[in-house]
Amino acid sequence: MEVIESGELVHVIERRVFAEDVRRHFVGVVEACSDQALRLRGYLFVYDSGSGAFMRKPELRTRVLPLDNRIIINVLPDHISAESIGFSTGSDGNLELTDGADFGLDISEFSPRE
pLDDT range class, residue 110, cuts 50, 70, 90: low
Share of the chain above pLDDT 90, in %: 58
Extents of the domains making up the chain: 9-106
C-alpha to C-alpha distance for 90 and 69, rounded to whole angstroms: 27
Q: What is the mean pLDDT of residues 68-96?
A: 89
Helices and strands (H and E) in the chain: how many: 0, 9
- What is the residue-averaged pLDDT of the chain? 88
The whole-model pTM stands at 0.87
Whether residue 10 is predicted with pLDDT greater than 70 in this model: the reply is yes
Average pLDDT over residues 22-29: 92
